[in-house]
Amino acid sequence: MKLRVTIMLKTGVLDPQGAAVRHALGSLGFPGVDDVRQGKVIELDLDETDPAAAEAQAAQMCEKLLANTVIEDYRIERA
Amino acid sequence: MKLRVTIMLKTGVLDPQGAAVRHALGSLGFPGVDDVRQGKVIELDLDETDPAAAEAQAAQMCEKLLANTVIEDYRIERA
């Protein structure tokens, strides 16, 4: 089954990539941008067909590899 | 208002980052991974309060800066 994992920096953690995008948008003539945060999204296609088991497997993948849980939060959704 | 922009490589475009993640997951003992695609997510906080106008503005941002529309698709959702 397919899952979508979204990984964002935790609130309060400096996001230089987001700040750069915000600055670039300002330069391009988009003035009304209050904040930009950039993260990553990973679409997983797993053999596992049971939704709960697949989500548990994805959570393990996040803890072990995909996310740096010191500074990042992850969210798992069914795609 | 807050919008979430998800940018993924188009289907058929080679995704070396996703392939690397898939390979790493295999090495870490997650065998049942059929496919991995990696993209980016950008959370925008805009001054614009009208949802339709904010979405139109975000679409322009994608076309001009955020996405490479030759190889990437973008999707805009209200966050």
Question: What is the block-wise mean pLDDT of chain A (79 residues), using blocks of 10 residues?
Answer: 97 96 96 96 97 97 97 96
Whole-Å CA distances, A73 to A6, B14, B29, B72: 8, 27, 23, 25
From chain B, pick out residues whose CB is under 8 angstroms from the CB of A28. 61, 64-65
Would the CB atoms of A43 and B8 count as touching at under 8 Å?
yes
Quote ipTM for the complex. Answer: 0.91
- Of the candidates A24, A47, A60, the beta carbon closest to that of B65 is on A24
Determine the structural domain holding residue B33 and report its residue range: 2-78
Q: Cα(A76)–Cα(A71) distance, rounded to whole angstroms?
A: 17
CATH number of the domain where residue A50 is located: 3.30.1280.10
Whether B21 sits inside 8 A of A66 (CB atoms) is yes
Is the confidence at residue B79, as pLDDT, over 90? no
Each residue's pLDDT tens digit, B34-65: 999 999 999 999 999 999 999 999 999 999 99
Number of folded domains that form chain A = 1
Q: Which pLDDT value is given to residue A79?
A: 86
